[in-house]
Amino acid sequence: MATKTYLAIDVGASSGRVLAGVFDGERIRLEELHRFENGPTHAAGGMYWDLLLLWKNIQEGLKSAKAKYGDDIVSMGVDTWGVDFSFLGDDGELLGNPRHYRDPRNKKAFDEALQIATREEIFAETGLQFLDFNSLYQLYAMRQADSSILDAATDFLMMPDIFHWLLTGEKGNEVTNVTTTQLYNPVTKGWSKKLIDKFRLPSVFKEILPTGTNLGKLRAEVAAATGIRTAEVILPGTHDTASAVAAVPAAQSSGKTPNWCYISSGTWSLMGVETTHPVINAKCAEYNFTNEGGVGGTTRLLKNIGGLWLVQECRRIWKEAGHEYSWSELVRMSEAATPLASLIDPDHASFSAPANMPQAIRDFCTRTGQTPPQSEGEVIRCALESLAMRYRQVHTWLQELTGGEINTIHIVGGGAQNALLSQFAADSCKCRVVAGPTEATAVGNLMTQAVALGDVGSLWDSREVVRNSFSVAEYQPRNTTAWDEAYGRFLNLLNK
């Protein structure tokens, strides 16, 4: 086939990129065309995303793509994080900047919402894990505040839906992101009218669009601004984790249950398996797992783990104090620290948004009767080893929920570059770890476009392209006895 170029607009919670994927029929090659920062903006007691600045940067990236690849560009698609949203009014006007999922109003709304409907009722309806920033609780916070925006809204659009609307003028809610709202029923495959009515939410929810939907070409003004006139806009797995999982370079399992799991590793660690159907039962609810939509009609049975946010925040605090460490320097310092000296629960509420992450880690160790880490290397080693311990716990639960043995963990995303964390995961979970590709979200986005356009046959065919295109690193477990002993300590501290 002739070479084709697809564009991935990949917007994460800390940065965004526009990347080109050049596909020759067997391999895909990536090129980053434009990178930009992202993060919360604090205003009037709330936390927001600067939507229009993000849109400006997306257009700059598209201009760069046109300058480099011209009419070879055949399609583009947007992925972002989940749960966050904004609205359009009946005149098509955008009603304000989207709130950030760490906005302080969410915790109170979450607690109050569980007085309206029980955990059991909500989980039976949605199969989704309970996180206080899920869209349901953000919407309920607006209802409780008598939000004028909610009263004026006619169209609910999640973050990637907003960008696809800005690109094309088409309004809809792509399924993989919809499944993060805790307002989607994975059995009926539609919006949960039961919860929408129970929480007195308005009729603003759009048609749920399948992954791979072709939205058509760019708005005339966007085409004029960017120079891209013939490319199609294709919905990838718009939830970034859905796209990342689509790029896991695994071979199709022969059994009924998968023999591999994934960790999409970045600010969060999303650890789970890909299944053909949702798992909604008492044990899944007890472990607080979630059933989210995957590419190709699959279900992502997974758990959110507080990932490299721990390290990112430590690095930020040290930089503010005048010590700017590179990622490689932090790894070297942690390698020199004493192994398994102290551990934390990476999902403890005290690590959600502390003013000083290194001190929060030390304080947790002190409260749980451990010697707190002092040096930067000790703090980072504590964080990474604790993440690996949490991976082991979730790995055990996944095998229980699926009824099969999981002997390989695929780590994809930026965290796959952290060789020390990958080795810790192999040591802790006592199984093979395959790390890569690092740009999994963009790759999954691009390959979904290729499948939608008929350039690749299926999800599993696209994974073969990924295996042909990107190198990976493999890690085998070592010194598991020491990790077994430390895992007992880890489980004990979770109960303190």
Nearest to 223 by CA among 78, 37, 73: 73
Q: Is 151 exposed, middle or buried (0-12, 13-18, 19+ CB in 10 A)?
A: exposed
Provide DSSP, 203-221.
S---PEEPTT-EEESPPHH
Strand positions, DSSP E, 340-447: 408-412, 432-435
Sign of CA dihedral 215, 220, 224, 229: positive
Angle at which helix 327-335 crosses helix 376-402, to 10 degrees, equals 90
CA–CA separation, 474 and 465 (whole Å): 19
Reading the block at residue 305, the tokens are 């783990």
Distance of CA 103 to CAs 106, 129, 155, 354, 445, Å?
6, 19, 22, 13, 28
Q: Is 165 exposed, middle or buried (0-12, 13-18, 19+ CB in 10 A)?
A: buried
Reading the block at residue 354, the tokens are 């502390």
Taking 3-state DSSP, the helix, strand and coil percentages for the chain, each rounded to the nearest 5, stand at 45, 20, 35
- DSSP bridge pairs for 41: 48
Angle at the Cα of 343 from the Cα atoms of 341 and 347, rounded to 5 degrees: 165
Residue 263, CB-side half-sphere exposure with 13 Å CA sphere: 34
Active site residue 240: yes
CA–CA separation, 374 and 379 (whole Å): 7
Catalytic residue among 10, 240, 347, 427: 240
By annotation, the residues acting in catalysis are 240
